Amino acid sequence: MIYLRTQTNRQQRGPLGRMMAEIYGLYSGRDGRVRYVGQTVGLCADRFKQHQWSPSPNLNKWFHKEWNDGYPVECVRLQSCDDDVRTIVERKWMSRFPGLLNEKISAQTWLTAVCGRPPKILEISAFMRRYYFNVGGFRGVHYDRHWDCYKVLMFTGEWLFGDECDEMMPGWGGNMWFPDRTAAVIARDKARQWRPHMKWPPDMEQSEDEQNFR
């Protein structure tokens, strides 16, 4: 595992000036399973950005597999703790999730995770309830129940610029929202035309009821 203490990370301090750390998990919209547990002395949001260009073969392969299949990879903070105990706390969290992609994980930690039941993370549950992925079988087209809009995930993990702009929506300055599924699919297909040699995964076959959703 690679731990970074770079100036690009915004470091945190507790009420008494003690250095704080964050323990975080990475998961996919495919199933909401935590597949990686890490630690950082900065903010996990900053560390997550670094992970998207990770030199780790396991993470790199997983990220691109999920993106290519139309699922976003997200980061969730599992716990904040004092900097001097972050490794201990990280290991405890690693022992709670089976099938992690961490390269450095002890056999005992792995076995404990396999034999146990992973905890329910409320933030992940809320995320999975809020979004529908690959709506209508169209890969990368996602529906946000909260904002009643669509957005498109490209194979690079980046969001396609949309055609709706509302200052109440997150990301409205460089907005990524579409008013309906048809607009989102058209925009996705146009963006794909700029990469004619890219082998795009086929859209998924769904039942008529699923295709008519939203």
Summarize pLDDT for 134-150 with one digit per residue, the tens.
999 999 999 999 999 99
Question: Which structural domain range is residue 103 located in?
Answer: 12-124
Instruction: For residues 177-202, give the mean pLDDT.
Output: 91
Same domain as 119, residue 70: yes
Domain membership of residue 6 (yes or no) is no
Cβ–Cβ < 8 Å for 35, 99 = yes
Domain annotation covers residue 168: yes
Please tell me whether residues 73 and 99 are part of one structural domain. Answer: yes
Q: Same domain for 30 and 101?
A: yes
What is the reported pLDDT for 10?
59
Helix ranges (DSSP H) in 21-153:
44-51, 57-68, 86-94, 107-115, 122-130
**Do 144 and 184 belong to one domain?**
yes
Q: Is the pLDDT of residue 49 over 80?
A: yes
Chosen domain end from 124, 144, 161:
124
**Residues 206 and 170 occupy one common structural domain:** yes
Contact 130, 144 (CB under 8 A): yes
Range with the lowest mean pLDDT among 30-44, 50-64, 84-98, 176-190?
Answer: 50-64
Q: What is the CATH number of the domain that holds 85?
A: 3.40.1440
More confident: 196 or 124 = 124
80 in Cβ contact with 22 (< 8 Å): yes
User: Minimum mean pLDDT among 18-22, 105-109, 173-177: which range?
Assistant: 173-177
Q: Check residue 129 and give its pLDDT.
A: 97
Q: Nearest CA to 183 among 146, 136, 115? A: 136
Flag whether 7 is in a domain. Answer: no
Q: Domain check: are 28 and 116 in the same one?
A: yes
The band of 172, judged by pLDDT with boundaries at 50, 70 and 90, is very low
Q: Is residue 3 part of a domain?
A: no
Report pLDDT digits (tens) over 63-120: 999 999 999 999 999 999 999 999 999 999 999 999 999 998 999 999 999 999 999 9
Residue 102 inside a domain? The answer is yes
Residues 118 and 139 in one domain: no
Computed over its alpha carbons, how large is the radius of gyration of the chain? 19
The pLDDT confidence band at residue 15, using thresholds 50, 70 and 90, is low
Q: How far apart are CA 66 and CA 183, in angstroms?
A: 23
Say whether both 206 and 149 belong to one domain.
yes
Residues 157, 180: one domain?
yes
Number of domains in the chain: 2
Say yes or no: 110 and 28 in one domain.
Answer: yes
Asked if residue 181 is part of any domain, the answer here is: yes
Final residue in a domain of this structure, among 124, 144, 177? 124
Residue 1 lies in a domain: no
Q: Is the dihedral of CA 24, 45, 55, 82 positive or negative?
A: negative
Question: CA-CA distance, 113 to 98, in Å (whole number)?
Answer: 5
Contact in structure between 39 and 33 (CB atoms under 8 Å):
no
What pLDDT, on the 0 to 100 scale, is given for residue 6? 38
Q: Is residue 156 part of a domain?
A: yes
